[in-house]
Amino acid sequence: MVDESRPKQLGAYRVLSLIGKGGMARVYRCQHVETGEIAAVKVLYLAEQADPNTLTLFEREIRAMQQLRHPYIVSLRDYHLSAQLAYIVMPFFESSVADRLMVRLYSPREAAQTLTHLAHALDYAHSLGYIHCDLKPSNLMLDAKEQLYLADFGLAKSIGRRNPEQFAFGTPPYMAPELADGAAADIRTDVYALGVLLCELLSGHRPFEAERTTDYFYLHRRALPPAPSQLNAVPAVLDKAILSALSKAPAERPQSAGELAQHFRNAVATLPDKDQRWNAPHIERPHIVLKPVKGGSGILRELNEQPTLMRRPDQLSLSTTEHRAAPPSPARRTRRTQNAVIAVLLTGLAAILLLITFLITR
């Protein structure tokens, strides 16, 4: 079936195929009509009813890419910006860290190298006043040699600038707790996302899983993150560095991406060589009892009673005053049945003994 909405050409680039699409734009694999060079072209949706913030974000991404010139950051090749058409031209990459995670998890040594390169790119961006605000595997591109490149500065913010749109931007599983309160993004915001990313690279799982954005906000703010070693066969010596990045209070996290990378490299260096090179297998997410940051939480208690591997996010929206007793687990029901049977047998035995005693004494 032919995609009628796909443009045939964008400036000097012939459109070959659709790579991906999201809420704001589509990305096409294109070829320069003169040089034959393959590139990725991100085209913004420009409908009459489009959100005006969309074009603002696109312009912000162009400005950021013009200023950020670093060997580990995706470069800007060309762009076009008008009321009728807006697109940016970037190098084409065959895969991303998200694609790699589908095939194989990262060993501690691979994760340390990835984090080191990413920290170089982030420290550079931070030094120019940019916070990425959307760090995740699909925004980490890989070339044929698996060299990493940081992409998508569409949500990037200036350090210390509050969000004028009055709502949090980013991808919920990776968003720092303070963003849910409307706090200004700063360097520690990206450090938190790096902690989530490290956990995912090593274990194949993010610290928290949910379906709704509000549920993620609740978990990031109120629940203690599980250690990576609880999620998969990750060396426990790596937990401390990762959990430090996931601290609820920004002041308790490493104060830069480079600082986190150094802590993590030091932890990896304590492992035997074979453990540094070992990749954990893909496994289903284990059931982990989440603990609240402070005091008890009816929401977490009810959530933890769920027998499923994946937490049911609809339970997170319940207030503590609406807390209901969770249904008994299958094991608990079995024990109750066994106790009932034993009680009946003992009662019957006692009745028989009384009958025998009565007959003897007659």
Q: How many domains does the chain have?
A: 2
Are 260 and 141 in the same domain?
yes
State which amino acid sits at residue 212: R
C-alpha 338: how far from its chain's center?
A: 44
Helix (H) or strand (E) holding 66: helix 52-67
* Count, residues in the chain: 362
Active site residue 78: no
- Residue 52 has, within 13 A of its CA and on its CB side, a CA count of 1
Residues 51, 78, 99, 134: which is the catalytic one? 134
Average pLDDT of the segment spanning 32-39? 96
Q: Judge whether residue 334 has pLDDT over 90.
A: no
Is residue 289 very low, low, confident or very high in pLDDT (cuts 50, 70, 90)?
Answer: confident
Are 25 and 158 in the same domain?
no
pLDDT tens for each residue of 83-117: 788 999 999 999 999 999 999 999 999 999 999 99
Among residues 75, 91, 107, the one where a domain terminates is: 91
Question: Is residue 21 included in any domain, yes or no?
Answer: yes
Structural domain boundaries, residue 23: 11-91
Are 131 and 266 in the same domain?
yes
Are 172 and 258 in the same domain?
yes
Are 23 and 102 in the same domain?
no
Question: Is residue 294 included in any domain, yes or no?
Answer: no
Among residues 225, 255, 286, the one where a domain terminates is: 286
Q: Judge whether residue 361 has pLDDT over 70.
A: no
**What burial letters (b/e) apply to 306-343, b meaning 16+ CB within 10 Å?**
eeeeebebebbeeeeeeeeeeeeeeeeeeeeeeeeeee
CATH code where residue 114 lies = 1.10.510.10
Rounded distance, CA 306 to CA 55, Å?
Answer: 43
Say what the pLDDT of residue 362 is: 56
Q: Judge whether residue 333 has pLDDT over 60.
A: no
Say what the pLDDT of residue 331 is: 46
Are 47 and 153 in the same domain?
no
Are 189 and 271 in the same domain?
yes
Question: Is residue 347 included in any domain, yes or no?
Answer: no
Find out whether 303 and 315 touch, Cβ atoms under 8 Å: yes
Rounded distance, CA 225 to CA 246, Å?
Answer: 7
Is residue 317 very low, low, confident or very high in pLDDT (cuts 50, 70, 90)?
Answer: very low
Are 219 and 231 in the same domain?
yes
Question: Is residue 6 included in any domain, yes or no?
Answer: no
pLDDT tens for each residue of 231-246: 999 999 999 999 999 9
Rounded distance, CA 25 to CA 256, Å?
Answer: 31
Phi and psi, residue 167, nearest 5° = -150, 160
pLDDT tens for each residue of 256-283: 999 999 999 999 999 999 999 999 999 9
Average pLDDT of the segment spanning 205-231? 93
Burial class (CB in 10 A: 0-12, 13-18, 19+), 344: exposed
Burial class (CB in 10 A: 0-12, 13-18, 19+), 14: middle
Find out whether 119 and 258 touch, Cβ atoms under 8 Å: yes
Rounded distance, CA 172 to CA 155, Å?
Answer: 13
CA angle 259, 265, 267 (to 5 degrees): 105
Does this model's pTM top 0.95? My answer is: no
Among residues 91, 115, 143, the one where a domain terminates is: 91
Are 85 and 229 in the same domain?
no
Which of 58-67, 137-146, 155-164, 315-324 has maximum average pLDDT? 137-146
